[in-house]
Amino acid sequence: MNLAMTVPTSKEKAALRNTAQKLKPAIHIGKKGITPALLAEFTKALKSDQLVKVAFKANRDEIPPIVGELESKTDSYCVGGVGKRRSFYKVKE
């Protein structure tokens, strides 16, 4: 992960979660998991919107490793989620 990027504070995460509640999932991750095409689309969405909601088709116990992989490959942060949806944030470069 890029060390120059600052981790959002708990207050910032709360504000981001509040904003993310109104969003519809922009990315849907199916049973194939993270593919190069999905990663490119996710990166593009983060660059344009900074805050992206993702819906997962995987079982709930399979979601945390996928979230970790998305965070590490895109230098983004998971700011929260409910059920099979997670919201990711990335500071604009």
Domains of the chain: 10-89 (3.30.110.60)
pLDDT (tens digit per residue) in 48-75: 999 999 999 999 999 999 999 999 999 9
Q: What DSSP string describes the chain?
A: --TTSPPPPHHHHHHHHHHHTTPPPSEEE-TT---HHHHHHHHHHHHHHSEEEEEE-S-GGGHHHHHHHHHHHHT-EEEEEETTEEEEE----
Q: For a pLDDT cut of 90, what percent of the chain falls above it?
A: 84
How high does pLDDT run on average in the chain? 91
